[in-house]
Amino acid sequence: MAWAPLLLLLLSHCTGSLSQPVLTQPPSLSASLGTTARLTCTLSTGYSVGKYPLVWLQQVPGRPPRYLLTYHTEEFKHQGSGVHSRFSGSKDTSENAGVLSISGLQPEDEADYYCVTAHATESSLHAHSASDDEEVRQKPRFLSHGL
């Protein structure tokens, strides 16, 4: 589980003194195979989605979380190694939300998806993930349904 030390390292840099947005995700989303799913991650009032890079993770039951992508702006984005271009990030400033779009839905896309805020402070990356109850209220489970 190579991801565990990295996640623990990132979480160990978090301090209670840093004010961070609360992230809210819908509890579930159902979509048909072949269509596009749009998962949202809304920041709490008083925080602007424009100021935060958002990291998206996928977790298939029984497997460790998989890094999908980071999206901040069109100039500052990163696709995870081996992650298909069907997965893309964006922001909806009118809803103050980050968006993960999954096009051409396939059965293997059924999973839990988590959003994570990240920011750089004094050369350290501070990440707040779904394992911190104060940071993510809900986790959406993508459910695929045949046509």
Predicted confidence at residue 129, as pLDDT, reads 41
Listed by start position, the domains of the chain span 22-145
Chain segment 4-22, per-residue pLDDT in tens = 443 333 333 333 335 778 9
Average pLDDT over the chain, rounded to an integer: 77
CA distance 26 to 14: 25
Which token pair is 44? Answer: 């709490």
CA distance 39 to 74: 18
Predicted confidence at residue 119, as pLDDT, reads 61
Tell which residue, 16, 32, 29, has the closest CA to residue 99.
Answer: 29
CATH fold for domain 22-145: Immunoglobulin-like (2.60.40)
Q: What is the DSSP string of 50-111?
A: GG--EEEEEE-TTS--EEEEEESSSSSEEEPTT--TTEEEEEETTTTEEEEEE-S--GGG-S
Percent of the chain residues topping a pLDDT of 90: 61
Which token pair is 21? Answer: 């947005």
pTM: 0.71
Chain segment 91-117, per-residue pLDDT in tens = 999 999 999 999 999 999 999 999 998
CA distance 26 to 137: 9
pLDDT at 75 over 80: yes
